Structure formats: C-alpha cells, structure tokens
Structure 1
Amino acid sequence: MQTTDRTQRIAKNSMLLYARMLIAMFIGFYISRVLLNELGVEDYGIYGVVGGLVGMFTLLNMSMANTSIRFITVALGKGDFNEQKQVFSNALTIHVLLAFLIVVLAEAFGLWFLKLEMTIPAERMEAAIWVFHCSISAIFFSVINVPYNAMIGAYERMHIYAYFSLTDLFLRLAVVLAIPYFGADNLKVYALLLLGIQVLMQAVYWQYCYRHFKESRTGMAWDKSKAKEMFSFAGWSLFGDASSMLSSHGLNILLNIFFGPVINAARGVAVQVQTVLNRFTGSFQAAMNPQLIKSYADNDFAYMHKLLFAGSKFSFFFFLLLALPVFFEARQLLVWWLKIVPEHTVTFLRIVLLISLVECLANPLITSVKATGKIRRYQVILGSFLLLIAPLSYVFLKLGCPAYTVFLVQFVMLCIAHYLRVQFVKPLIQLRGRDYWQQVMIKVLVVFMIAPILPTLIYMQLDESLWRLLLICLTTLLVVPAGVWSFGVNEREKELIVEQVKKRFARD
C-alpha cells in the first residue's frame, strides 16, 4: 500500500472515530450528570471504587488483550491467512480460560478485601457486594470479547467500531434514564442493567466477526508453540500493565482507604472528564496504531518514524486545544454540568489533564515497542519504575499529605518515565534520539509554554462568567492552532495539511 493511501486511510478512520467521539462526549457528560443525581455522591463513589477493585483482577487480561491485538495485526500485515486463523483461535481459547480464572480469583480474594479493608458504610455494604458480583460477571464477557474487538481494529473497520460503541453508549443512557422507574435500590439496578448491556454487546461483536472475518469462524484451538509465543509476550507486558492498573485503580483504592467514598466520587468525576477528552486523541491513535504495527512488519522504518512523530505531536496538540478551557474554567463547567459537585473535584481534574498530556506523548511510543515484540527489558525496567507510584503515594498520604498528592506523584513519575521510554525505543525501531527530541519534544514544549499565556491573562483579569468562558475558548481556538503552525509542525507536515484542506474544500 502506498504511503499516501495509508495516510488517507488513517485520516478517514480518524474522522469516523472523531464523529463517534463527539456524540459520545455529549452523551457521556449527560449520563454522568443524571447518574450522580440518581445515585448520590456516596453511591456514585461506591460504584467507582468497587468497579476499580474488580478492575484490579483484569490485569492479566490487559496483558493478553495487548498481545492479541499485536499478534492479530502483525499476522494481517503479513497477509498469512493460516497464521491469522491460528492466532485468533489461540487468542480466543486463552481469553475464555482467562475469563474463568479472573472470576475465581476475584470472588476468592476481592470479596474478602471489599468486606474487611475498604471504607464502605455498613448500610451500603450489601449494595456494594451486589455491584461487585455484577461487575465481575460483566468483566467475564468483556474478556471473551477481546479477540473479536482486536479483529475489527486490525482490519481497520473503524466505522463498525464507532457504530457498536455508540450503540453501547445509547443503551447506557437508556439504563440511566430508566433507573428511577424500577422502584428498587438504584445502585443495584444500575449494576444489573449494565451487566445485561455487556452480554448483549458480546453477542453483537461475535455475530459481526463471524459473518465478515473467516478466520474468526475457526472457534477455539490450541497450538503449543503459538500459545507459548503469545504467553511470553503477555508475560513481559504484565509489568507495564500492572503499573498502569495501579496508577488508576490502585490509587483510587488508596483514596478510599484514607478518605472514604466521597473522595472517590470526586476522583470519579475528574476521571470521567479526562476520559471523554482522551477519546479525541484516542480516536486518532486508534486509527494510527494498525498502520504503525504494519509498517514495522513491512520493515518500513521511515514511514514508521513519520507516524510516530506525527502521532505524538498531533495527539498532544489536539488534547491541549480541548484541555486549556477546561483547565481554566473547571469549576464553572462542573457547576453547570452537575447538580452536585464533590469537593476537591476541580483540583483533581486540573492535575489529571496534565497527566493526560504526558500520556498523549507516551502512547505512540508504547505501540511502537509492542510492534517489535521485543518488550522484555523495556517492560521490566519501565514497569518496575511505574510500580513505585502507588507505594510512594501511600507514603505521602501516611505522612498527612492531601488527597491530590497522589496525582502529583503520578504526574512526576510519568514525566521521568517518558524520558526513559524514548531511550528504550531508539534501538528497537532504528530511531535517532536527536530526531525525536527535535521533531516532537521541542515543538510540543514550545507550543505548551506559549498557548496558555493569553488564556491565563483573561482568567486573571475577568471574574467568573459565561463571557470569560467564551473568551477563553475563543482565545484557545486562535492561539493553539497559531502556535502549532508556527512552532509545532515542519514544512512537509504543513504541505500535507494544506493539501488535505484543499481536498476537503474541493470535495465540498
């Protein structure tokens, strides 16, 4: 496939995913508003922290999910149909076994931890246990769904992914709106209905893949050599996935132990906003990742480097464009959005937005490493380093530091990890460090330092109002693109941007 065709495919898939994401953003915000109102701050926090506890047991699945995506995409890139069938059937077998293992481990140890170690009001413990069981059941089906989801991504059927994601979201909206009409415990009803949605969507994914991808019709199988290769990759991925898991669910559990479910609600709202904004960059990266992996499989390192540079920069710039107004006007936006704003939410939100900016730069590098399959040393060192986030956070909380300290610890550690990550990636994909720093880091840092200047002046000079919000949004829409054009892209990228804009206007 020609470079132009591959770039156009990425652009097309990105637009499809952006359209899906825009709809999802508005629906997601509305769902959170209604859900917080229906459940209340305490139950909202309980649902989040119990879901986080159950999520801890999906650590093995995270590793195997990344493994399945990588192996299926590489097999497709090689054009070897027999290998595609072999990889899919082995992946399906592994994920079915893994789903049962997660259920056993979660029921054996998670329930004990929930009852004895977590801070849950006694009168809500029964509901929390109900949520726990429903969440485990939902994860069971989610784990089995991984190979099917990976198949859709490998074939770059992003329109199908968008349709299915929106279907799932509309069903969740219907559930939230229907909660008051059941006349039962709202928390229990919500957990049970979400389980029903997960079962339904599993059936939809299975049916689509069975009809459109021949390799998915083989069912479960076991090839010892292929399974060993996949387990080896997954085993070394475990370190990185463990650090990611502990940075999310582990910190949430720490906040619960030290401060209770109300703080979990604040963290849940902040992460909800972060997640919605992350979908912008996630859509772009989801469209780019298959080409990144396939370019490595084709030994096309020149194109891989271009994708890596462009993906890192534009993910950062897109997120910065969205995050700046939210960062400055977090309090005002939260008050408009929610009827109830949990204490500390504004502070949490501002810090997690900074964390997301670092992650925008990290994700293309992570995909590049996994494309090579040479992840042992990388995962051991980077994973071990990031595993320090939770223990360090515990130490600071034990010393009496405020709740937001855990997010500051995470931010600093991720910045250090990014430097280490670049050093590991260089020899794996024949990348010169100087090129990365010149083409990516210097450019994003310059834009990052320039873009907030005018919004900061407006924020400091004007009182909180709709006028100030609109003015900050307008200023951001001007200064970020201007900064990107002046300092963030090279001449070739400017030519491509102009070319795409001309094509768009000519088509219209």
Structure 2
Amino acid sequence: MDNKRQFILNLFASLISFAANLGIGFLITPFIVQQIGAEAYGFVGLANTMINYATLFTLALNSVSGRFITVAYHKGDKTTADKYFTSTLSSNLVIVAILTTIAVPLIWNLEYVVNISSHLINDVKILFSFIFINFLLSTLSTVFTVATFIKNKLYLSSIANIVAIIVKVLILVAMFGTLPPMVWYVGLGTCAMTAITFIANWIYTKRLVPELRFIRHGFSINAIREMLAAGIWNCVIKLQQILQDGLSLLVTNLLISPHFMGLLSIAQLVPTAMSSLMGTIAGLFSPEQTRFFARGQKDLLLRELKSGMRISGFFVNIIFVVLLVVGEDFIRLWQPSQDARMINILMQLTMLGFFLSGVATTLQNVPLLVNKLRPYSLGWLVCGATSFVLMILGVLLFPSSGIYMVAAIPQIVGFIANLTFVPLYASRCLNLPLWVFYPIYLQYIVSTVVSTILCYILYYFLMPKITSWALLFISCAIYAAITILTDITLLLGSRERSIITDRLITKIKR
C-alpha cells in the first residue's frame, strides 16, 4: 500500500473514531448530567485532571519510548529496539506500584483535599478510584501502541477505540438504566474502554512486529538514562500544561464553587474534543516524519510538516467556525436545564486557545522528533507559570468575573505562544528560515476570518432562528460546507487537496 493510500486509511479511521467518541459524548453527557447534576458531573473532569497530574511521573519515559523504539527499528537495529521496549515496560511496572501506594491514602481522604458535598463523598471517591485504575492501565499499555506506529497502521488503533467506545456506552446505559444514578459509573465505563484498547494493542504488537520482544534480561539502565535525558523535558512541558490548563477545574473548585466547576467542565467538553482531534490528525503524520528524520530526508520531512499543519488546521477550523456561530444555540438544545449563555461564553473563551493550535500542533512535535526538548520545554514552562499567576490574580482581583478569568487567561497565553514561540523554535530545530511556517499561519488566519464572516452574515440575515435539533443540524452542515470550501481554496495546497478530495472522490466512485 502506497504512503498516500495508507494515510487516507489512517485518516478516515481516525475521523470515524473521533466522530464516534465525540458524538456519543454529546449524546450521553446531557443524560448523565440530568441523572446526577452538574456539580457531580464536574468531578468527572476534576478526577481526570487530578489523576492526569500523575503522568508527570510516567511521561519522561512514555512520551519518548515510541520515538526511540521506532528510530531503532527503522535503522534495522532490532537488538536496541528490544532493549528500549523491555526497559520501558519494566520501568512502568515499578512506577505503577509506587504511585499506587501514594494514591490509595489520597483517595481515601479525598474530602479533605477538595470541596465535595457530603452526599457525594463516597460516590466521588469510587469515581476517583476507577479513574486511577484507568491511569494505571493506560500507563502499562503505552509501550504497546508503538506497533501500529512503526508499521504506519494507525487505523487499527482507531478500530479498537471504536469498539471500546461502544462497550463504554453499553456499560453506562446499563448502569444508569437499571441502578440508582451514581457518578462512579462513568469511571467504570472508562476503565472498560481502556482495558479493551490495552488488549487490542497487545495483540497488534504480537502480530505486526513479532520480532519486537520483551527480553527477560533486556532491561538496560543506559537505555533508561538515555530516554529520561530526552523525556524529562516533556515532563517540564506537562508541568506547563498543568499550570496553564490543568488547574482550571481545581482552582474553580477551591476559589469559586463546585457548581461553577461543573459548568466549566461541561464547557470544556468541546475544546477537549478539539484538542484530541488536533493530536489525532497531527499524529497521522508522525510515522512518516519519524521515518524521514531517521533517514535524513529533510525535504520530505518539511513537506510532511506543512501537510500536517494544513490538514490538521482544515479539520479543526470546521469545528471552530461552526461553534463560533451556533455555540449558544447548541448549548441551549444540548443542556436545556443549564445556563446556556454562561456555558457558551466559557466554551468560546476556552476555544480561543485553539484558534492557532490547528496549525501549531504539528510543529509542537518537532522538538521531540529532533530530540531538542530542553529550550522548548523551559519556554513553555515560563508560559505556564505566567498563565497560572495571572489566572490566580484575575480570580482574586475580579471575583465576580473569576470563572471567566479561569477560562480566558490560559488560552490567551497559549495563543501568543503558538503564534510566536512554536513556529520559531521548530524552524530553528530544523535549521530552516524563521519565517518558513508563517505563510501557512497567514493562510489559516485568512481562511478562518473569511469563513466566520460568511457564516455570520448567513446566520443573522438569511437563516431562520434555531429552535430544534433539525434546524441546528442543517445550519451546521451549511456552515461546515462554507468553511470547507473556504479552506480548500485558501488553506490547502495541491498535495493536501489531492489527499482530501481526489482520493475521497475515487473512494466514493468505487
């Protein structure tokens, strides 16, 4: 299978997986909120956020192990690849055991750490327990995801993810439909989903790269030291993400109220999905980028980076523009029992940080690719610390608007960093002119502005007021079509048009 067809297959499988995850999330979230209330649902986001802090202890290895294994594999050095594989899995087992001894007493005394209404204490503790178990499973399974990456068959992971999503929904429907409503059902469903993907990735590893093995005496301190030397800077980047975005729900819980935390958690669902989409699309280009880098094919690497920027921006832009226009209508229909105006404002403020992330996400992978993470991670850490300080000051100085400060300030800092720091550093890492990526930025900005203006004109002067799901779907389809046509004209190059349009038309004809 040629590279372009392989990419198309990976792309469509990833989009189907993303659509399934997003669609089911939208369908099931209002049902869960109605069953348990916005405050209780807010603890789902808080649990994922707080447990995510534990990834600081695993990220140093897991964020770079795939890169080291893949580069060694493509160089034909199977012994070194086995060494990295064995060392990563062994280390994860040790880390999991250590973190468990810390997490158990913390969850047991959770009501002394965060604000929890008395009637929710036991329910929230069980939720946190399942979310932590999910984290353990995710940690142990990370090294097995390298198989589909090495063979550039990411569509297999997407298929497993779709099956896992279906199982999660079945569990949630069965639990909420037959038992008294509890928020911990969400944690159980999430655990089941991760367990299925874990098993699938283990099978993929056995079948796709059977020569990649766990060797009983293959653990290497030197391999761990080498990976940690590169990956420790990803921990710094993760710390920045926690300071900039990951503390928003916790700050809201402690300094504002659990109720507003629930509203912010709902508002963050779409931006979180957008972040997932950006990572998914950008990740589709990573196998080829890694291969080109390993072989020293700089021109092909630059071509892949530019294509990744355009195509990732293409898909993110559709969601961004459509929700910018019909966001409040969507929230009003989706969460009829909640404050639609406030949730929409929080959602729009949160999405502000993703305005440039559509094209910047691909470039954010460059420092890892070339193993130049130190200056990059320190730069982001400064952004995260600045964001956190400004966010706390905003809440304390403007308490009546504190919730909006929490939503907006981190995104403004992220926007500035994606506009300046990310493309400039990526250019420097690749020894390219500093302006080399800015033409794509300009194309993306122009396309977004034009699409938004056209959609707003249509929304205010020609389209009927949205009062039903049918009208919302029709409106979204029209605005999405306008954005797609604008992006095809102003953003995509000939190669990206070929990938998205020519191949798609061929598939439809067949």
TM-score (norm: length of structure 1) = 0.90
**Is the aligned partner of 1:122 residue 2:118?**
yes
Where does residue 11 of structure 1 map in the other structure? 8
1:493 CA drift (Å): 5.0
Distance 1:422 1:198, change over 3 A: closer
Aligned partner letter, 1:404: Y
Where does residue 375 of structure 2 map in the other structure? 377
Residues 63, 234 of structure 1: 8 Å contact kept: yes
Where does residue 146 of structure 1 map in the other structure? 142
Distance 1:140 1:408, change over 3 A: same
**Is the aligned partner of 1:252 residue 2:252?**
no
Partners of 1:17 and 1:492 in 2: CA distance: 20
Partners of 2:477 and 2:130 in 1: CA distance: 44
1:397 CA drift (Å): 0.6
**Is the aligned partner of 1:37 residue 2:34?**
yes
Give ranges in structure 1 of 5+ residues lacking alignment: none
Aligned partner letter, 1:9: Q
Q: Any idea what SS the aligned residue of 1:374 has?
A: coil
Q: Any idea what SS the aligned residue of 1:132 has?
A: helix
Partners of 1:457 and 1:501 in 2: CA distance: 30
Aligned partner letter, 2:53: M
Aligned partner letter, 2:129: H
Residues 389, 409 of structure 1: 8 Å contact kept: yes
**The one of 394, 416, 423 aligned to 1:396:** 394
1:281 CA drift (Å): 3.7
1:138 CA drift (Å): 2.1
Q: Any idea what SS the aligned residue of 1:218 has?
A: coil
1:145 CA drift (Å): 0.8
1:242 CA drift (Å): 1.2
Deviates more, 1:283-292 or 1:364-373: 283-292
Aligned partner letter, 2:485: A
Partners of 1:387 and 1:216 in 2: CA distance: 41
1:330 CA drift (Å): 1.7
After superposition, residues 158-173 of structure 1 pair within 5 angstroms as: 158-173=154-169
1:469 CA drift (Å): 4.0
Give ranges in structure 2 of 5+ residues lacking alignment: none
Residues 148, 208 of structure 2: 8 Å contact kept: no
Where does residue 218 of structure 1 map in the other structure? 214
After superposition, residues 327-342 of structure 1 pair within 5 angstroms as: 327-341=324-338
- % identity of equivalent residues: 15
After superposition, residues 345-356 of structure 1 pair within 5 angstroms as: 345-356=343-354
Where does residue 312 of structure 1 map in the other structure? 309
Deviations for 1:107-145, whole angstroms, at most 9, x for unmatched residues?
Answer: 355665x33242211222222222222222221121111
Where does residue 473 of structure 1 map in the other structure? 476
Q: Any idea what SS the aligned residue of 2:2 has?
A: helix
**The one of 72, 79, 103 aligned to 1:82:** 79
Where does residue 260 of structure 2 map in the other structure? 263
Deviations for 1:334-358, whole angstroms, at most 9, x for unmatched residues?
Answer: 2333353356211121222232233
Aligned partner letter, 2:137: F
Where does residue 132 of structure 1 map in the other structure? 128
Where does residue 355 of structure 2 map in the other structure? 357
Distance 1:481 1:50, change over 3 A: closer
1:8 CA drift (Å): 3.2
Residues 47, 128 of structure 2: 8 Å contact kept: yes
Equivalenced residue count is: 502
Distance 1:332 1:215, change over 3 A: same
Deviates more, 1:464-473 or 1:162-171: 464-473
Deviates more, 1:122-131 or 1:137-146: 122-131
Residues 74, 294 of structure 1: 8 Å contact kept: yes
Deviates more, 1:337-346 or 1:7-16: 337-346
Residues 57, 106 of structure 1: 8 Å contact kept: no
Partners of 1:275 and 1:98 in 2: CA distance: 27
1:457 CA drift (Å): 2.2
Distance 1:268 1:62, change over 3 A: farther
Residues 68, 84 of structure 2: 8 Å contact kept: yes
Residues 365, 421 of structure 1: 8 Å contact kept: yes
**The one of 162, 165, 176 aligned to 1:180:** 176
Aligned partner letter, 1:488: L
Partners of 1:109 and 1:384 in 2: CA distance: 29
Deviations for 1:447-495, whole angstroms, at most 9, x for unmatched residues?
Answer: 1221111222233345444587466435423432333243323456556
Partners of 1:109 and 1:98 in 2: CA distance: 17
Aligned partner letter, 2:379: I
Partners of 1:222 and 1:208 in 2: CA distance: 22
Deviations for 1:175-221, whole angstroms, at most 9, x for unmatched residues?
Answer: 11012355356224443454355445434433442344324542564
Q: Any idea what SS the aligned residue of 2:26 has?
A: helix
Where does residue 234 of structure 1 map in the other structure? 231
Deviations for 1:123-179, whole angstroms, at most 9, x for unmatched residues?
Answer: 222222222222222211211111012333332222320121012111110111012
1:497 CA drift (Å): 6.0
Distance 1:50 1:501, change over 3 A: closer
1:260 CA drift (Å): 2.3
Partners of 1:22 and 1:497 in 2: CA distance: 17
Partners of 1:339 and 1:97 in 2: CA distance: 47
Where does residue 435 of structure 1 map in the other structure? 436
1:246 CA drift (Å): 3.3
Root-mean-square deviation over aligned CA pairs: 2.7
Where does residue 366 of structure 1 map in the other structure? 364
Aligned partner letter, 2:332: V
TM-score (norm: length of structure 2) = 0.90
Partners of 2:489 and 2:208 in 1: CA distance: 45
Deviations for 1:381-427, whole angstroms, at most 9, x for unmatched residues?
Answer: 22232233222211111112331222221221112212112222222
**Is the aligned partner of 1:28 residue 2:25?**
yes
Where does residue 457 of structure 2 map in the other structure? 457
